[in-house]
Structures are given as C-alpha cells and as structure tokens.
Chains A and B, each alone.
Chain A
C-alpha cells in the first residue's frame, strides 16, 4: 500500500490558503450590513468551515490513500463560496476591493487543492509515496 507522507497539516499550502480565506471571511462577515444578515453570514461561515473540515478529514485518512475524495469535496465547497461572493456583492455587502481580495484567495485555494490532488495522484500512480 502506498503510504503518502505529507508531514504537518499546517505546512500544506491548500490548508494555509483555506484557513486564510476562512479567517478573512469571518472578519468581513462581522462588519456592516453583512453582520446584520445572519442567514447570509452563517452560510458563508459554514461553507468556509466545511472546506477546512474536508481537508482535515482527508488528511487524517491520507495514510490509507483516501485523501483525494475529501479534496474533491473541499474543492466543490470552495467553488460554492466563490459563487456566493457575487451574491454578497449584489446585495451590497462587499465592496469591489474586498470582493477582489476574497475572490483571489478562493481561486488560490482551489488551485492549491488541485495541485495537492495532482501530487497525490502522481505519488500513488508510481506505486510508492514520495519520501518526506
């Protein structure tokens, strides 16, 4: 069985990007009109936490090579978050600058997750994990 050694979760770029996106989303959704729309705020926050949850769950199963399905789920949720950003702009909750910032972060998160997925696929295809 291919044992993929990934080291520390906190050192994985996908995790770092997702965490940054989440914390910034918390800051943005705690202010102004956004803070008063409890439902919208909750949706955003819950989605961000879901990205993190999927990555953590996948990571804890990475030794048995089951990281990829969790990463796919994480990516799906990140896509949702990116789409929701448009809704937030339409409602006037986000200014152009903050929208751009968050959109870039969400895109970077997606890319980092894709790269991690590709890395995992390559290492299992070779039949052996990369050495740590």
Chain B
C-alpha cells in the first residue's frame, strides 16, 4: 500500500487541512460524541478522529487514553487516508507500518485497527475515523457500513464547521467594512445627514459640529428645515419634495444655514432619496460649506465690477475732455499764431518771446490731446480684424514718418513680413510709434532700425531693434504707463502716450508687448505678439 501521496496532491490536501482550521483546537462535544458512540457500537476501548498534518496525525477527539498526536509515519491514520474506503488491520503487531505505534508497543497493547478516511468538502482526505481493540478481530460487512456512516457524520460536522468559520469571517469583514465607512464619514470635511421623509435628521455625521457648531445631541429629532434661512426655505422645501417624488435621483440646492453662534453659513447640498432602500430608509444629504468660497467670489466680483466701472468712467472722461478741449485750444492756437504774424516787432522783444511760448505751448497741448484721444479711442468701439499685409502696414507707417526719417538720416530695414488677421489702422499706429521712438531716441550715430518677425506656436512675434540710447532696465516696466516719460521734453519731445497706445492696441488684439534692452547706450528692442487665430474676445473694451 502506498503510504505517501504525490507531492502536488499532498500539497493540495494540506491546503484543505489548513482551511479546516481545526489543528490544535480544544476538544469539542460534537466530535467527542461520535468517538464515544463508535467505541460503544464496536465495543472497543479506543476510538479517535484524526487530522493528518504534514508530519503528524493530530487527534481532534479521542475515546480511550493515548497521546494527542503521533508521528505521521507511526500512525495507522496515515494508511487510512491513502485509501478510498474502510481499512482494517487484524493484527497490528505484524504490520511493519504500525508496529512502532506507542499504543501497540505499550499499554494498552492494541492489536486490531479499523478506520475510514474523512474528506473535507472539496474531497481531500484530511483525516480519519479509527477504532482499535486489544484483541485480534474482524469486522462484519454491517459493522463496516456503520464505520462508513460514522465517518460520513464526521465529514458533515467538518463541513458545518467550515461554513460557520466562513460566516464568522464574513461577519468580521463586514464589521470592519462598516467601521471603515463610519470613520470615512466622520472624518470627512462634508456633512452627511440622513433625513426622514419629513426632514427630521435621523443621522448626522460628526463634522456638523465643526461646520455649524451644533453638538449631535442638540439636534435630536430636529428638522433640518428649522435651521435653513427664511429666504432659502421655500426653495429647499421644493427641492426636498422633488427628491421625495423621484426616488433614486440626486437634487442639488444651495442655501444659508444658521450656525450655532447665530451667524449664517452658505451650504451646498446634494439630496438623494433612498427611502425605498432597505438599509438607509431615508434621504441622504451631503452638505459642503462654501461660505468662504462665496464670500471670495462676491468680493472678486465686486472688485472687478468696481474696476470696470472706474475704467469706463475714466475713459469716458478722457474722451469727452480731450474732445471738448480741442475746440477752445484750436482757437487759442490760431489767434496767438495770428498775433505772432501780424504784430511781430510791434511790441518789444520780450513780448515776441512770450507769444512764442504761448504758440509752442498750444502746439504741445494739441499734440497731447490728439494722442489722448487716440489712446481712448484705441479701447473703444468694435475691433474689426481683417487679413492684413504687414508689408503694406509698415510701408504706411514709414510713409507717415518720412520727415523724421529724412531729418535723422535713419536706415530702416525689415524681414519679409506676413499676412495676419488684425486691424490694419491700429497696427500701422503701433509700428509707427515703435519705429518713430527708435528714430527719436537715437545716439550720436544715425539711427538704424530693423523690423523682424518670427512665427511662434499660436502667435506672430514682431520686433523692432534699434541702435539708439537704450534704456536702464529698472525703467523697463514704466515706459508703457501713460504720461510716464524718462526724459525731459527739452531732451526728447513727446507726450508720454505713444507706448501706452501701443500697449492698448496690442492687448486688444490679444497680444503682449514688452521691451528688451542691454542697458543705456546698447540699443532697444521692442517686441509684440499677435495671435495667429484671432481671439473671439475681440469685443469692445468696457466703456464703449
């Protein structure tokens, strides 16, 4: 008879043994009852239920005295589990496999053995039911049948035990799962409520204390609606009704809720009707405190509104002022000019000088007003984008600057320029101002200006590079501010508006403008970008 199983089968058998979770557990009446019955039925002094482990036969139940376990090689049980049916051994003293059995060698000197394998639910023979007697004997077929029936009883007990163990594990797992979710909810930032069909809060998570200041026991049998602001209550009730009407759907509502200290908190709520759910039987409400978010939103909106309004007023003022100032100024300029022409030399030299100052001042003021008007116009009205040939735009700008170019003997060069989507009149102004500046702020040598272009991802980047006086890097951000001038009008004439106009026009196209300079005396490069795809937001700026 084969006493060892193939290792793979034996490994699986051992897995089944471990799954029983019976090894080294205390005796149990359910098994002791079977061994007692077996001993009585066969009239034997010894009966046992064993589990055959890797290297031992361990006795879950024993009738008669003996060790609680035996080395597997010495145990009769090892022979039994190798068989598919009952095994009998008439005289153990002659059997080489069990002759070292302590109960054979020593007291009570067992001679006769009979056993039947016991299988686990998956069919693996995990142990044996054995009986033994001190005299040599045989079993009748009826007795063998009884032995089989008793072994089957043990099997049923094993199965039952396994089912019970699994159930216990399942319950433990569930308990842990519930604990897990309870902790999740209690530590969440959001409040979780379960409402009855009338709005009474049956369950509230601990976070309610943190958000609204109430202790759980303050809210016993209280309706959520008692805490809702009067102005929001009709809406909240309506949404609640909606949730009740449509089981399973989720409704959202925002409302103000009274904090325990009397202040109000803005809460965002999601309601889900699980009244039909046998576990929840209520309306689940998730509440999130959005008070700070709301306040910040309102503040930001107010600031933006204020800013837009103030910008609008400013531009309207600038427009109206410059427009209305033009007329009287024109009168002053033309009449002082007349005065200069007709009465030159009729007063004294001092008077001629004064009149000269007036004419000069009037001219400068006209330039200032003209630029100011252009600046405020740059932000007004619809910006119409059309296919624009930048070569033509530059040509127009240079033609406008013709006098300055000739006077200063300036050389203007440029890359081949593209077609872009833009407002040609505004870009003419931009290039005219930039090239004009480049010429104006020249050093000791005749000005050289180069206009270049590079296509970047999503936008064109134009640049005007000169060999002029450059700019101290600390002033780089100031030059685009309206009326900011870095030089006196004696050094370089101008209104201080030109670059502010450029910035406004470029930004209306969705682009950016900046300048780069190595420092004073190193020349200046102005760069600006225009998106390749026109912005949809080419809408009029506030104030138009």
Interface, chain A (partner B; CB < 8 A):
9-10, 15, 19, 22-23, 26-31, 35, 38, 42, 45-46, 48-49, 52-53, 56, 60
Contact = CB atoms under 8 A, between A and B. Distances in A.
Contacts of A56: 230-231, 233-234
Given A49-B237, A49-B238, A26 B230 contact: no
B234 A26 contact: no
Contact of B230 (A19, A35, A42, A46): A19
A26 B245 contact: no
Contacts of B223: 23, 26-27
Contacts of B198: 23, 26-31
A27 B200 contact: yes
Interface in B236-266: 237-238, 241, 245
B230 A10 contact: yes
Interface in B156-171: none
A11 to B, nearest CB: 10
Contacts of A22: 225, 237
Contacts of A23: 198-199, 223, 225-226
12 contacts: A9-B231, A19-B230, A22-B237, A23-B226, A26-B223, A26-B237, A27-B198, A27-B223, A30-B198, A49-B234, A49-B238, A56-B231
Nearest to B233: A52
Contacts of A29: 198
B241 A53 contact: no
Contact of A49 (B196, B199, B200, B241): B241
Interface of B: 196-200, 223, 225-226, 230-231, 233-234, 237-238, 241, 245
B276 to A, nearest CB: 12
A48 to B, nearest CB: 8
B543 to A, nearest CB: 31
A53 B234 contact: yes
A58 B228 CA distance: 19
Contacts, number: 49
A45 B198 CA distance: 10
| Majority SS at the chain A contact face | helix
A15 B230 contact: yes
A97 B225 CA distance: 24
Contacts of A53: 234
A112 B225 CA distance: 21
Contact of B233 (A19, A31, A42, A45): A19
Contacts of A31: 198
A13 to B, nearest CB: 13
Given A15-B230, A26-B223, A45 B196 contact: no
B222 to A, nearest CB: 10
A9 B241 contact: no
Given A31-B198, A42-B241, 9 more contacts: A9-B231, A15-B230, A19-B233, A23-B198, A26-B225, A29-B198, A38-B245, A49-B237, A52-B237
Contacts of B241: 42, 45-46, 49
A19 B238 CA distance: 14
B245 A42 contact: yes
Contacts of A42: 241, 245
Nearest to B200: A27
Given A42-B241, A42-B245, A49-B241, A35 B197 contact: yes
B263 to A, nearest CB: 14
Contacts of B237: 22, 26, 45, 48-49, 52
A106 to B, nearest CB: 17
Contacts of A9: 230-231
A26 B198 CA distance: 5
A52 B241 CA distance: 14
Contacts of B245: 38, 42
A31 B200 CA distance: 12
A94 B196 CA distance: 19
A49 B196 CA distance: 18
A10 B196 CA distance: 25
Contacts of A19: 230, 233
Contacts of A52: 233-234, 237
B200 to A, nearest CB: 7
A60 B200 CA distance: 28
A19 B225 CA distance: 9
B76 to A, nearest CB: 70
A114 to B, nearest CB: 20
A75 B233 CA distance: 18
Nearest to A57: B234
B196 A30 contact: yes
